Structure 1
Amino acid sequence: MAGRRRWSTEEILDTAAELLRTSDAESFSVRKLAAALGTDSSSLYRHFRNKTELLRAAADRILVAAMDGHRPEGDWKQRITALALRLREAFGQQPQLAAIWGRYASSGAGSRLVMEEALQALRASGLPDAEIPARYHRIAVLLAALIAAEAGVATLTPAEREQGLELFRVAVLGADPERFPALAHFARDVRPLGADRRGAFEEILAAQLAQIEAGIP
């Protein structure tokens, strides 16, 4: 009788990523992954101790892919901006994993590559070494929040998106001008969260980098 096939770590993560394209992290389970692979959960626990560790590894592969072929160019602000846009684009292809990254972070090779590039760019800025870890942390939190938030919007179905826009119109255009005078005044110009996210992403990041630059001796 033939023995049960042994799946490699990469094959397991490939299948996990495919499952996460059509489901979220809450409904994802090691049991479902094992069923998709035609094996049992115990065989997967030889590779990953639990679901969270598996999800972190899957998210880290997105970071590895984002950094593949990356060559730092320009000054420190251009380097951090290019890094941020690479991460945004990579997670845009797998939005469910962006939410996982924002929630759990990661600690694998991809994470180290991203951290190394961000820290090197900050050192090139002229900031004192003592200030760099805190500045790095602010940038990391900002990027994780922006990318995860955008991913949440990307996972909406067309029907959910349209329903959200309709509710937004009702909330804004239907606001009582006596109770919400500012909202009523700007109602026709206020845009929903899903509008021009790329522009907002770059502008918020640029503001953070400008703040860092202002503190450089």
Structure 2
Amino acid sequence: MDEPSRTAEAPRPGTAAWWLARESEPARQRRRRSLTLEGILDASMALLDDRGAAALTMRNVAEALGCTQASLYRHVRNREELVTLLIDRAISVASTPPPEDADWAEQAAWSARLFREHLRRHPGVASLLRGTERLGPNSLAGMQYGLALFIGAGLRPGLASAAASALATFVIGSVHFNLGLDRQDPEERRHRRELFRSRDAAACPLLVQHAEVLAEVGSDEEFEVGLTALLTGFRALIEHADHA
């Protein structure tokens, strides 16, 4: 069965208009009481983890749940809506409260590492985050958390919002950049050394000269350097705001 087509007037899933419309619409009839939106999202996440984003179709979700696609459409109209809701729920981990005695920088670093590890455990989720608006209830809770963190540190609201968004973008980008790579694998590191050393020394002298060191740099080191650089920049913004 094909997915129901979206009318020209219907807002695109994930936009602010779509979230507002979803919250204001009456509850959809559900003939199959055992089928819930949470159950659909659970099955979708399991499918995503086991088989990847390409396997996340309405047909496959229905098969996993032992129901018809028509039953799914009483909860979500199409795959685009399903992905939007799934992503928003996955983002909720970023709102987990950090240790109470941590300062703003320690809280930001704690949340960034937590979110990154969650995405690394669920690479299918990370692959679906491209261009996804973060406007669902869990995403807005995360936005509230980020605003409170950076406004509390001394930034004005607009700059605090940009800082929180920059941190989230960095985390997501760091995971995207390394999807499918395992730099801890000794064989991968050996191949990297061979690749760097095999370059033309006249064209790529630094790759050849530092092949041993470069092959050992992993995604964790890259992430921590980037995180430190961001936090250092945020501190400079905060100090500037204090003296403005």
Task: Return the TM-score normalized by structure 2.
Answer: 0.73
Q: Residues 105 and 87 from structure 1, CA distance in 2 versus in 1: closer, same or farther, beyond 3 angstroms?
A: farther
Q: Residues 211 and 173 from structure 1, CA distance in 2 versus in 1: closer, same or farther, beyond 3 angstroms?
A: same
What amino acid does structure 2 have at the position aligned with 1:153? G
Percent sequence identity is 25
What amino acid does structure 2 have at the position aligned with 1:25? A
Counterpart in the other structure of 2:136? 108
Conserved 8 A contact 2:62-2:72: yes
| Mapped pair 1:202 → 2:229 | no
- Alpha-carbon distance in structure 1 between the residues aligned to 2:51 and 2:177: 17
5+ residue gaps, structure 2: 1-30
Counterpart in the other structure of 1:75? 103
Q: Residues 163 and 53 from structure 1, CA distance in 2 versus in 1: closer, same or farther, beyond 3 angstroms?
A: farther
The alpha-carbon deviation at position 190 of structure 1 amounts to: 0.9
Q: Which moved more, 1:169-178 or 1:97-106?
A: 97-106
- Alpha-carbon distance in structure 2 between the residues aligned to 1:7 and 1:20: 19
Counterpart in the other structure of 1:182? 206
1:156-171 equivalent positions in 2, closer than 5 A: 165=189, 167-171=191-195
Q: Residues 65 and 178 from structure 1, CA distance in 2 versus in 1: closer, same or farther, beyond 3 angstroms?
A: closer
| Mapped pair 1:153 → 2:177 | no
Q: Residues 167 and 29 from structure 1, CA distance in 2 versus in 1: closer, same or farther, beyond 3 angstroms?
A: farther
Q: Residues 131 and 4 from structure 1, CA distance in 2 versus in 1: closer, same or farther, beyond 3 angstroms?
A: closer
5+ residue gaps, structure 1: none
Higher RCO structure, 1 or 2 (CA under 8 Å, sep 6+): 1
- Alpha-carbon distance in structure 2 between the residues aligned to 1:53 and 1:71: 34
The alpha-carbon deviation at position 144 of structure 1 amounts to: 1.7
Counterpart in the other structure of 1:17? 45
Counterpart in the other structure of 2:16? none
| Mapped pair 1:33 → 2:55 | no
1:50 corresponds to which of 78, 85, 98: 78
